[in-house]
Amino acid sequence: MIIGVVKESFPGERRVALVPAVIPALVKAGGEVLVESGAGAAALYPDAVYVEKGARIAASRAEVFAEAEVVFQVLGYGANDRTARADLALLRPGQALIAFLRPLGDPETVKEIAATGATAFSIELMPRITRAQSMDALSSMSTVAGFKAVLLAALTLPRMFPMLTTAAGTIPPARVLVVGAGVAGLQAIATARRLGGAVSAYDVRPAVKEHVQSLGARFVELPLETASAEDARGYARAQDEAFYRRQRELMARVVAESDVVITTAVVPGRKAPVLITAEMVRGMVPGSVIVDLAAERGGNCELTRAEETVVEHGVTIIGAVNLASTVPYHASQMYAKNITAFFLHLAKAGALEPNLEDEITRETLLTRGGEVVHPRVREALGLPAMTKAGASAT
């Protein structure tokens, strides 16, 4: 089976879907790896190293799509809404595509992929179960983003993070609040603690309290009803506006006491909830910093502008987008290990054989045989449910 890797086309994207170190595992499983020339250059993986590990180099993107039976990407069409539409003309019936595709954010793009006849797998829909941990690329990229968010805050804040006792007196530590204790949030907590910050964290899910405290941070508890805050897949569940309004009222004091606020709260397929209002920003100490990791989905801060850094009421608000791409070497390494583990899970006897009885396969499979087959995406598109035979119900 020929596995194709193309150069990422999203503006500024520096990651690559496959790094040389994982190629031997794919070759051992019967695969042949074809890499577009220069695909790994921005992540510091030159063509020569791919060749050393057993890959072939293709002269063009079209050549990779023409030869490959399965194509690996980081940002496929849907996740990349700027340039990836051109790839639709290169996809063909029966060809497999594995990538971030953002199907719940823009389900109409899934219909377009289905129309090509390709079999598409959306890696961000990986279920959060023990068997799938090695394949969870969303968690890997969130880890990188949480780490980099703290570094951005530290570079921007006109104060130092650690407490220092000097001949000039004692410098108190920076007060850091992390909102959302998922993968990105927990990494942000750990990084801020390593830099010496006094860290607090809040999450609507009470179950994460132990994780926060195990990292040495204080867990902020608010008197809110949170029994329905988490779904069966381990993701935060959207709440009604009355809940968010009460949450904002209770958080105002905590935010005002913070030098740095890092927000990470997202709900799959939904606009990010607004947790920090303009009035709350006004109450922060001038020079404070907000890094909004939900900027791409509208932002957790009312004043966030995606891909921009703005100053409002003396507070710097960083609308961070695609932070994982700013650490391309290790982000690519992590993604490559995830996607390779997923591919090897799918591939049987030298061919892709999607087993819909398997939860990992069933939850990530988006399109097959010209149809959108994922139940939640079909529901979002207003399509009827699929029958067990795989055809649309009438």
Q: DSSP of 287-341, one letter per residue?
A: T-EEEETTGGGT-SBTT--TT-EEEETTEEEE----GGGGSHHHHHHHHHHHHHH
293 has a pLDDT exceeding 80: yes
State yes or no: is 128 an active-site residue: yes
Per-residue model confidence (pLDDT) at position 272: 93
Query: Domain extents for the chain?
Result: 2-136+327-381, 144-321
List the catalytic residue out of 9, 37, 128, 244: 128
- Catalytic residue flag (residue 139): yes
Distance CA 136, CA 122 (A): 11
Q: What percentage of residues in the chain have a pLDDT greater than 70? A: 94
pLDDT at 235: 60
Active site residue 240: no
- Mean pLDDT (whole number) for 96-106: 96
199-237: per-residue pLDDT in tens?
999 998 888 999 999 999 999 988 887 655 565 655 666
Instruction: Give me Rg for the CA atoms of the chain.
Output: 22
Q: Give me the half-sphere count of Cα atoms (radius 13 Å) on the Cβ side of residue 98.
A: 32
pLDDT tens per residue, range 39-53: 999 999 999 999 999
Which residue in 37, 235, 246, 358 is the catalytic one?
Answer: 235
Average pLDDT over residues 362-385: 96
> Which of 73, 139, 258, 333 is labelled catalytic?
139
Given a cut of 80, whether residue 390 has pLDDT beyond it is no
Instruction: Tell me whether residue 244 is one of the annotated catalytic residues.
Output: no
The packing angle between helices 137-156 and 328-346, to 10°, is 170
User: What is the pTM for the complete model shown?
Assistant: 0.93
Of 23, 33, 44, 9, give the one whose Cα is nearest residue 328: 44
Say how many C-beta atoms besides its own lie within 10 A of residue 371's C-beta.
Answer: 18
Active site residue: 56, 92, 133, 218, which one? Answer: 133
pLDDT of residue 349: 62
How high is the pLDDT of residue 190? 98
CATH topology of domain 2-136+327-381: Rossmann fold (3.40.50)
pLDDT digits (tens, 9 = 90+) for 147-201: 999 999 999 999 999 999 999 999 999 999 999 999 999 999 999 999 999 999 9
Do 2-136+327-381 and 144-321 agree at the fold level? yes
- Confidence at 336, pLDDT banded by 50, 70, 90: very high
CATH architecture for segment(s) 144-321: 3-Layer(aba) Sandwich (3.40)
Rounded-to-5 percentages of helix, strand, coil across the chain: 40, 20, 40
Residue with tokens 């529901």: 379
Q: Is the pLDDT of residue 240 over 50?
A: yes
Alpha carbons 8 and 383: distance in angstroms, whole number: 31
Q: What are the CA-CA distances from residue 265 to residues 79, 288, 383 (Å)? A: 19, 20, 29
DSSP string, 32-45: EEEEETTTTGGGT-
Residues 17 and 333: their CA atoms lie apart, in Å, by 8
- Structure tokens that stand for 113 in this block: 């992929």
Say whether 73 is catalytic.
Answer: no
Angle at 183 between CA 177 and CA 188, to 5 degrees: 35
Each residue's pLDDT tens digit, 60-87: 999 999 999 999 999 999 999 999 999 9
Of 45, 77, 122, 136, the catalytic one is 136
What's the pLDDT at 394? 33
